[in-house]
Structure 1
Amino acid sequence: MSPNVKSNLRVASASGSVTDRRHAFADLAKNEDVHFIVGDWMSEYNMTTRGGGKVDSNGGSEEFETSFTEAFLPALPYLESKNIKVAVNAGASDTKKLYDLVVREIRARELNLNVAWVGGDEIFDVVKKAAADGSDFRSLTTGKLLSEWECDPIYAQCYLGGFGIAEAFKRGANIVLCGRVADASPTIGCAAYYFGWKREEFDKLAHAFVAGHFIECSTYVTGGNFSGFKSLPSPALSLGFPIVEMEASGEFEVTMQQDRDGIVTVETCKAQLLYEIQGPYYYNSDVVAILDKIKIKQVGTNRVRVTNVGSIKPPPTTKVGLTAKGGFQAEAHYFVCGLDIEEKAAMLESQVRVALDETKYHCLKFRVNGRCPEDPYTQDAATVDVRIFAQSRDESALSINNFFRPVTDTIMQSYPGATFAVDARQAIAKPYYEYWVTLLPQSSVKHVCYIPSKGLEISIPPPTDTQDFLYEQETYETNAPIDLTALNPTTRAPLGNVVHARSGDKGSDCNVGFFVRNADEWDWLRSLLTVEKVRTLLGGDDTGKPIFRFELPNIWAVHFLLKDHLDRGVASSSTYDVLGKNLAEYLRSKWVDIPNKFLDRGRI
């Protein structure tokens, strides 16, 4: 399909993570009428592990995502026969090596598919030179300077936009392989190519950016990770993957595969919109989408229309993730059961702390996970996990003799029923990485589109019409809150009985968005959920760090950004909720006063 066509663009998403179901790529290519298939294989976790692996092997390993090839290779015949183009970020830290593999496989099958790859995201040399020249970098999560970081970076990767992808398609590529382009950049690149958009068409690009966000997590928008999961049509065993249909204006509709489980509704779309955003301004290297006036409307069965996305110019900077070796970590688990859980766990913690040399650990956490219900039905239901988690720069501090033995040797003097997990594999020290997020000028990045079959290496210039990045976005409480007592009578019940929510991570920041289903519930929600109320609901998990708040009134949603809430992020976190996905479910479980008329409508 050539640019500037009149028909709507159809883009399907075949993956939302490195662990997504691998059958989707071939299934979509074979059975759906689409112009492009995109997919997201990158996360902050595999940015650190792939980058660290490349450094440790001195480039000898293959640090692309092999789960992509498992999904992609069976789709090749259908991609050729149906002229479906592909853009993915599965190259991770070795995009050229992935390119070489894909070309070999295409030749072995005697297919006529042209492959390009996009580079420039690996920028450790740029960061090192800037630091040597006296530049310092500021963390997007903690606000601290790189010179204050206790770790030494070994790898750096930045987020590229979609115009390298668009250029590859323009030059005849059928398949474009990328490393760390932003999650939505493949969709932006597909749309910019298909419609022939220029860099300055910001409203159009902003809509494409948001469209990419809706489908970048694959089945999250068709019912996965959805707080209303009980409303999914039975049996919900194989949720369909999403498809975006976009107009030349950028406005779009979200739908899904035919004859599959799952749903596309206003609620599933709201949930995905609120996932991992940082405020009303949603940043990409190509454009900034403004979300607070967005409109989401059901226009058919499994079909939702999205309009009214605002825009401003892109920033002159792009996000950079720095990887460092953090040291080593290990963990051991005890089980406590029945009555007096807190007292039993406290006794264990006191005894173990005496047995360990705490000066050897920069992180030592004791966490009680779960609770015993009243009058438990089974012993398993009454059993709670106590996790002892430690990190040290020194591997020997976490040896069996220095960590696991002191932890377990206290068993005979400890609480009634003391039992530790006999599977000690997690207690063996393993290396981990620290991840640190900052900004770098886009002008410092050598964004390049490579089409080796044509001998082309095309430099992609950075945007020149820009607007500075906002480190802190607008935060505010609601305007003219209502008197909540006017909605009496109320019943004390879990917030999640009537309120949906979705949460996620960006570095050590955690965001959570809440929304309701009915217009008359909006005034109650926006008046109830103040920053102070969220701190109260967090309870013992309130870190006291900044919380930013804004509203999306057209979709009856309130969004909060909890700064530096996640203990250094996914690669190094000491918590179970390393991705922040369960913060929403935790807060939905907290009890508040809910108007009876809302409860009478039935639980979510």
Structure 2
Amino acid sequence: MSSRAIRVAGASGSASDRRHAMAAFAKAYPSDPVDVIISDYMSEVNMTIGAARKVDSANLTADMGNAFVGAGPAFEASFLEALEPALEDLAKYGIRVAANAGNADVQGLYRIVCDMVEKKGLSGQLKVAWISGDEVLPAINDGLKSGTSKFKNIYTGQVLEKWEFEPIYAHAYLGGMGIAEAFRQGAHIVICGRVADASPVIGAAAWFHRWEREQLLELANAFVAGHLIECSNYVTGGNFTGFKALEANGRWVDIGYPIAEISANGSVVITKQKNSGGTVSIHTCSSQLLYEIQGPWYFNSDVTAVLDQIWFEQLSTDRVAVRGVQALPPPPTTKVGITARGGFQAEAWYFMTGLNVAEKARMTEQQLRKGLAPYSDKFTTLSFSVLGTPGVDVDNQNAATSIFRIFVQGKEANDVGTARFLRPVIDNIMQGYPGSTFHLDFRQGMPKPYFEYYVTLLDQDKVSHKVHFNGQETLIPPPTLTKTFPERQPSQSSSQIEIDLSKFGPTTRAPLGSIVHARSGDKGSDCNCGFWVVHQDEYVWLRNLLSVDNIKLLLGKEYDTSRVPKIEVERFELPNLRAVHFLFRNLLDRGATSTATVDFLGKNCAEFLRSRWVDVPVRFLERGRL
């Protein structure tokens, strides 16, 4: 066990993140050393695309596959762009790397990385390993045939045999112990598929400090550290409702990447690259902590972190300590994402400017419904929406313009083909509203594939988690100490100690976000959304204001009681963060890969709710607005 803290750098938060961070961390080692660089590339969107490419390749139908999902590998090629310029410095300073960029072709990416290392003459200094076990469709099929599991959807409650789509691939979310073992055996670069986002940090810390599986508190703290840095800039000022303060000195121009310092006892400090933009504060850490959690229990295959007493301490500029994490054993199951081909979708836009947008939209929708009627029996989804509201008496035309969006889905490409969708939509222009104008980029109106995504649980002992290194395979056994949790997390419909809001003094109508931070994101069809404030008296007000009933009112038409499956709201409080967290079940329709909404990642739910007007105590506003 090392006597010093391991320093783990977060160099990527998605397949579309900037790609310079890994090389920058490696080059800066003499002045800002890190032991391990982790990169997170996986999301439900690229998991489904990678799955389809893998299946098409396996079926030797490359032409059909390319037409369906576009040409490309089943792994995340952007990882190679980040890794290649860093290799010499990684070798020079002995820095380790763990990345879940393998997606649905981990071994394929491993081979390319080995070749890249060899061509640079670094094979003697950089040893590469890969992790298998996340591809579990055979285990799912075996469970269905044997009747050992119904594979219930954790979001909708549906059972898999009732799902109308045919599964083509299934990713299991692996823990970090395979990564720890690969490092222990001498690997410098570990290529993974669908290990959970925080698992590379768990694995790095467990390897460095030689932790055992039974050291749950240490693992839980590493898990939280991994959650905080796995989205890269999200903990250093990206996607942060306090972003306006970063404009000073240009700190929002090139936001730096995070580092987690994890001690042998599990204590965690979050910091960032030296001399970089952005910031690390209690509030940026609160923002990232509240993202993606779904209650006080946060599950990983290695440990369950209990979050309801967590708090952050600002040690100094850009250094924040994580406090109050508690631990429970992991569940006996792990999360599995199942991919199926959903069909095809297309969309088109009209621009509506100035006055009477509501009437213009109503007229256009009625006209288009009539024009599309001969084909609509083949549509599985047809929706119309207005994006944005024109400003009042504005001095430029763009500010006075809204978008009218028409969105369609069908089972086959021809069901939503040009003749059945795009042509009737644009043919409507001459009988349209005043100023009728459609978007001339017709590519969005061409059929493109979309995927359905089903999330369930699989017993960990059904997963063959293996490390592949130096021609040997090492099986990683599942945890022996586990805990079965209820299907639903603890929820409080309102504050346990209710206070009359009039006691906070005179109020004025203002946006909730005038004084309240918030952060939201997607988990399948669910949307999670956390709110927090700066001062304790504001928190007493906030926890009384934001009851389940009141949040439903703030959601407005988004809380559609006719939705199937129905939208449900769960709530819990994090008093040490001055935060209230909500889980909006099924708010995102069928999730990022198939939803008809533009907020397919759920990230703007928080911004929508912050824009809603409430009665805000005047004395809070006098302190200043966010």
Match of 2:73 among 57, 62, 68: 62
Contact 1:503 1:513 in 2 (8 A): yes
- Uncovered stretches (5+) of structure 2, i.e. residues with no partner: 61-71, 562-566
- 1:566-585 → structure 2 map (5 Å cutoff): 566-585=588-607
Distance 1:248 1:402 in 2: 63
- 1:188-227 → structure 2 map (5 Å cutoff): 188-227=202-241
Q: Which residue of 2 aligns with 1:542?
A: 559
Distance 1:501 1:145 in 2: 34
How far apart are residue 376 of structure 1 and its match? 2.1
Q: Which residue of 1 aligns with 2:524?
A: 507
How far apart are residue 59 of structure 1 and its match? 6.6
Is the partner of 2:479 in helix, strand or coil? coil
Distance 2:240 2:59 in 1: 40
Match of 2:353 among 333, 337, 355: 337
Q: Which residue of 2 aligns with 1:35?
A: 35
How far apart are residue 62 of structure 1 and its match? 3.1
Distance 1:238 1:415 in 2: 44
**Any idea what the Cα deviations from partners look like across 1:288-331, whole Å, max 9, x if unmatched?**
00000002110100000001101111000000000000011011
Q: Which residue of 2 aligns with 1:81?
A: 92
Q: Which residue of 2 aligns with 1:185?
A: 199
- Alignment partner of 1:133 is 2:164: no
Distance 2:461 2:273 in 1: 40
Contact 1:333 1:386 in 2 (8 A): yes
Letter in 2 for 1:12: A
- 1:4-153 → structure 2 map (5 Å cutoff): 4-31=1-28, 32-58=32-58, 62-111=73-122, 112-134=125-147, 135-153=149-167
- 1:127-526 → structure 2 map (5 Å cutoff): 127-134=140-147, 135-232=149-246, 233-235=248-250, 236-356=252-372, 357-451=375-469, 453=470, 455-476=471-492, 477-526=494-543
Distance 1:370 1:530 in 2: 28
Distance 1:399 1:7 in 2: 61
Distance 1:371 1:245 in 2: 46
- Uncovered stretches (5+) of structure 1, i.e. residues with no partner: none
Distance 1:93 1:314 in 2: 25
Contact 1:316 1:469 in 2 (8 A): no
Distance 2:275 2:460 in 1: 43
Contact 1:481 1:523 in 2 (8 A): no
Letter in 2 for 1:489: P
Letter in 2 for 1:118: I
How far apart are residue 241 of structure 1 and its match? 0.4
Contact 1:329 1:432 in 2 (8 A): yes
Contact 1:206 1:289 in 2 (8 A): yes
**Any idea what the Cα deviations from partners look like across 1:63-91, whole Å, max 9, x if unmatched?**
11110000011111111111111111011
Q: Percent identity?
A: 52
Letter in 2 for 1:37: I
Q: Which residue of 2 aligns with 1:595?
A: 617
Distance 2:241 2:384 in 1: 29
**Any idea what the Cα deviations from partners look like across 1:115-148, whole Å, max 9, x if unmatched?**
1111000111111121122332111111111122
Contact 1:288 1:313 in 2 (8 A): yes
Contact 1:317 1:469 in 2 (8 A): no
**Any idea what the Cα deviations from partners look like across 1:503-533, whole Å, max 9, x if unmatched?**
0000010000000011221100100000111
Q: TM-score, normalised by structure 2?
A: 0.95
How far apart are residue 470 of structure 1 and its match? 3.0
Is the partner of 2:458 in helix, strand or coil? strand
1:62 to 1:415, Cα distance in 2 relative to 1, 3 A: closer
Is the partner of 2:322 in helix, strand or coil? strand
Letter in 1 for 2:36: F
Letter in 2 for 1:441: D
Match of 2:579 among 528, 551, 557: 557
Distance 2:75 2:430 in 1: 48
Q: TM-score, normalised by structure 1?
A: 0.98
Is the partner of 1:292 in helix, strand or coil? coil
How far apart are residue 150 of structure 1 and its match? 1.5
Distance 1:120 1:484 in 2: 53
How far apart are residue 195 of structure 1 and its match? 0.7
Distance 2:341 2:81 in 1: 30
Letter in 1 for 2:264: A
Distance 1:59 1:308 in 2: 50
Range moving further from structure 2, 423-432 or 178-187: 423-432
Letter in 2 for 1:550: F
Contact 1:161 1:185 in 2 (8 A): yes
Q: Which residue of 1 aligns with 2:65?
A: none
Letter in 2 for 1:601: R
Range moving further from structure 2, 376-385 or 60-69: 60-69
Distance 1:273 1:25 in 2: 23
Distance 2:418 2:538 in 1: 55
Is the partner of 1:14 in helix, strand or coil? strand
Distance 1:280 1:595 in 2: 29
Letter in 2 for 1:168: A
Q: Note the aligned Cα RMSD (angstroms).
A: 1.0
Distance 2:531 2:524 in 1: 21
Is the partner of 1:402 in helix, strand or coil? coil
Is the partner of 1:57 in helix, strand or coil? helix
